[in-house]
Structure 1
Amino acid sequence: MPADLAVIGLGHLGLPLAQAAVAGGIHTVGYDTDPRPYEELSAGRTPVEGSLSASDIRRMLSGGFRPTADPAELGRVRTAAICAPTPLGPDRTLDLSAVSDAARALAGRLRPHTTVLVESAVPPGTTENLVRPLLEEGSGLRAGRDFHLAHSPGRLDPGNRTHVYANTPKVIGGLTPACTESAAAFYGRLTDKVVRARGPREAEMTKVLETNFRHVNIALVNEMAVLCHDLDVDLWDVIRCAETKPFGFQPFRPGPGVGGHGAPMDPGCLPYSSRTPGHPLRMVSLAKEINDRMPGYVIQRCATLLNEHGKSVRGARVLLLGVTYKPDLADQEASPAREIATRLMDMGAQIGYHDPHVLDWRVRELPVPRADSLYEAAAGADLTVLLQHHRTYDLQGLAVKAQLLLDTRGATPAGAAHRL
């Protein structure tokens, strides 16, 4: 049976979209320029940790979802969504190569009247200046006349059971008003509310603003954490008090670093064009600098605590708890745990870890010993560091068992552990 939707890019963006589409009764195929996701999905396994579970994948397959390795399938759909990843490249800008590959794969099979959606996190102008030319050159069709083109930034919060795909508003910006309405008609089948942006650039910039808002505010509270520790002020109590203000304040909490798939972005540098606005986002750059310092600050606190208890980092047994970037998920994307472990190893510490969602963890391609018994491991470690607060952790009991506990998430009862 011909599919109604092709999802190109079967990762953290594409799989939830495919899941929502299948649940909405939309016949969906999934394609990726990398063959590995197809192989994993065909076997009923999830190709990326922390996105969908194996049982989710099996339900999708039984509901009619078809992963495919044949790009010809892309020419048999009415809607195609580009959900390719955009990781940070060596120069710390977003790598758009997967987006380009996805656009080229679609272009050779693009039919008239198809609606093409770009969900990948990209700098403003990418849909018009990168994706559009690739589609037009490869297909001989013209965007806005022969096919619809729109951008709709991904808005996913993995593990959030309150805000799911169906009740999270979807922002849409089309190349033309008709493109916007075509995209709105599609997303209206998946979500309760669609929000129409003026165009693709406004939709793309919405993602930039949302991501940078998170990073800037985390940087602010991370700086406050360092200041409050130096002043012997309980920041966690300060936040508890401040969040009672019913207007003008939104609580953020400090941590050992910032993980996740949304990298802070300065659109002053456009990798696909020589034209740059020349107005770098200084606050975003500073926020990134502050947040990037947090793993080093955690190491400093570890060394100080060990020293205060007559021990050196060299030779110390350090247990890291929670190595994922988010609680109660297996996703390790950009988690600060790996950098913290690397630095401690460089200083001569003996590292172990515990995480109920990660059965095998490697640092520098070497396996890190996993604790089977959490309490026993904490009792035997010179220092236990809580990096991620999974709900399965009994922190009060852990504080009793651990010789020395550093809580980087402010999750332990007041006075039970040393807090960041």
Structure 2
Amino acid sequence: MLSKIAIIGLGYVGLPLAQLFLQNHHTVYGIDYDVKKIESINKGKSYLSDFQDEDIEGMVQTGNFQAGNSYEVISKAEVIILCVPTPLSEDETPDISYIKNAIYKSLPFLKEGQLVILESSTYPGTTEEIIVPLISQNKEFSIGKDFHIAYSPERIDPGQKQFGLEDIPKIVGGVTQKCTERAKSIYETIFKSVVTVSSPKVAEMSKLVENTQRLINISFMNELAIFCDEMDINLWEVINACSTKPFGFTPYFPGPGIGGHCIPVDPLYLLWKAEKHHFELTSIKVAHETNQKMPQFVVEKIAKHIKKPLSTANIFVIGVTYKKDVNDVRESKALDILTSLVELGSKVDYHDPFIPQISIKDSELQSIPLSTEKLRAADCTLILTDHSNIDYDMILEKSNLIIDTRNAMKNKKHLGKVVLL
């Protein structure tokens, strides 16, 4: 069954989804407010680290892909999928303005027989409490009969190469059974496995639980990293030892703080919803607090090991993205660390092959090449992101001191100059 699909939001979720639909011969209308993204697509240029220019060119060359800013194409579509951002507000509460805005702009073009699916990570109840009323109050549709609405959480993990998008089981929960069946039939054309659940709330909760589990476990390791530093214990060695047990232990690893658009954000959506029900999820609170402490711990670690005040220190940072091999700095704790170092008076330079420029304290920093001169001139080389395409042998040989927050030097002889998180 080939369909015409409108995808709203062409970022880390929407663009790979569009590609998968196109590979299976569907027609895709891509919509994004970012003019630069649309221009890049039409020029055959990629703006995602997981995509090559050839991927974009291949999508355009199918003849079945149209990308633009106008919502009018929704009138041509049978399925509308929302892949818009769901960030946190300044007070760390859910910001669902992008979802609402997408629905408002879609309303004039919605018609009987269509299916709307939300994929953005959000709190349980969003589909039924926000999307259904917005559509029902403006359109005389009978949900589940002549119009269908469902939720299906995106489960993309930028940077990982082990599983293709089509290999990741797709969870679907519709407002009615008919909505679920309709959404399932669409996703079955592109995913190898589709898992149906009883409601949108179950599907919404499943995404938050996946990422909340990771926040809690990684934050636990970060808390242990602080404690092991006091005890002079190598936590990485401890984790390796624990991992030899063939059952019952899942390794999680510490770092400079969890970033990205999912793990540090989604649990706070769940926390907010729980508080609305007068329920306190204390484990999320503690994990969030631990995660927020990590940048300061890293700064203190540098101060402890260099031989001069931070106000006169020269720090060379390796990697500023929230995880390896992606070009995404959303919620990256590396930026918090750089900001603190600059505020303390340190001279800070950075190298990141994925991020040519960043803004720190109203100043623009440019990524500089990894060189012998830069490494030798720095009082400390600080590894915040362990990108794969970094010459760690050169860093080890030429640096005076290395603070390694990612255990990037795990297979190298440390020569006494490497300090682990």
> Is TM more than 0.5 here?
yes
Q: Does the 8 Å contact 1:13/1:83 carry over to 2?
A: yes
Tell me the distance in 2 between the aligned counterparts of 1:261 and 1:11: 12
Q: CA 1:139/1:50 → structure 2, altered by over 3 Å: closer, same or farther?
A: farther
Which SS does the other structure have where 2:138 is aligned?
Answer: helix
Deviates more, 1:31-40 or 1:214-223: 31-40
Amino acid at match of 2:255: G
Task: Provide Cα deviations, 1:102-138, integer angstroms capped at 9, x if missing partner.
Answer: 1112222111111111001111000000011112223
Other-structure match for 2:258? 258
User: 1:33 Cα shift?
Assistant: 4.2
Matched residues, number: 412
Other-structure match for 2:71? 71
Task: Provide Cα deviations, 1:338-383, integer angstroms capped at 9, x if missing partner.
Answer: 1111100111100000112222222134122433243321111011
Q: CA 1:3/1:174 → structure 2, altered by over 3 Å: closer, same or farther?
A: closer
Other-structure match for 1:312? 309
Percent of paired sites with the same residue: 33
Tell me the distance in 2 between the aligned counterparts of 1:199 and 1:345: 49
Q: CA 1:111/1:175 → structure 2, altered by over 3 Å: closer, same or farther?
A: same
User: 1:268 Cα shift?
Assistant: 4.8
Tell me the distance in 1 between the aligned counterparts of 2:53 and 2:101: 27
Tell me the distance in 2 between the aligned counterparts of 1:198 and 1:322: 42
Which residues of 2 match residues 280-291 of structure 1 at below 5 A? 280-291=280-291
Q: Does the 8 Å contact 2:396/2:414 carry over to 1?
A: no
Tell me the distance in 1 between the aligned counterparts of 2:236 and 2:13: 33
Amino acid at match of 2:284: V
Other-structure match for 1:58? 57
Structure 1: gaps spanning 5 or more residues: none
Which residues of 2 match residues 318-329 of structure 1 at below 5 A? 318-329=315-326
User: 1:244 Cα shift?
Assistant: 1.9
Tell me the distance in 2 between the aligned counterparts of 1:236 and 1:96: 39
Q: 2:384 aligns with which of 383, 387, 409?
A: 387
User: 1:12 Cα shift?
Assistant: 1.8
CA RMSD of aligned residues (A): 1.9
Q: CA 1:73/1:215 → structure 2, altered by over 3 Å: closer, same or farther?
A: same
Q: Does the 8 Å contact 1:108/1:139 carry over to 2?
A: no
User: 1:39 Cα shift?
Assistant: 3.5
TM-score w.r.t. the length of structure 2 is 0.93
Which residues of 2 match residues 70-149 of structure 1 at below 5 A? 70-149=70-149
Which residues of 2 match residues 204-353 of structure 1 at below 5 A? 204-262=204-262, 263=265, 264-270=267-273, 276-306=276-306, 309=307, 311-353=308-350
Other-structure match for 2:419? 418
Other-structure match for 1:398? 395
- The runs of at least 4 consecutive aligned structure 1 residues that moved more than 4 Å come to 33-36
Tell me the distance in 2 between the aligned counterparts of 1:378 and 1:329: 24
Q: CA 1:326/1:268 → structure 2, altered by over 3 Å: closer, same or farther?
A: closer
Task: Provide Cα deviations, 1:134-170, integer angstroms capped at 9, x if missing partner.
Answer: 1222332132222111100000011211112110000
Asked if 1:201 corresponds to 2:198, the answer is no
Tell me the distance in 1 between the aligned counterparts of 2:213 and 2:310: 36
Structure 2: gaps spanning 5 or more residues: none
Task: Provide Cα deviations, 1:248-281, integer angstroms capped at 9, x if missing partner.
Answer: 221111000111110122435349xxx9211131
Deviates more, 1:287-296 or 1:242-251: 242-251
Q: CA 1:141/1:253 → structure 2, altered by over 3 Å: closer, same or farther?
A: same
Q: Does the 8 Å contact 1:9/1:102 carry over to 2?
A: no
Which SS does the other structure have where 1:368 is aligned?
Answer: strand
Amino acid at match of 2:58: R
Tell me the distance in 2 between the aligned counterparts of 1:171 and 1:220: 28
Q: Does the 8 Å contact 2:124/2:201 carry over to 1?
A: yes
Which SS does the other structure have where 2:310 is aligned?
Answer: coil
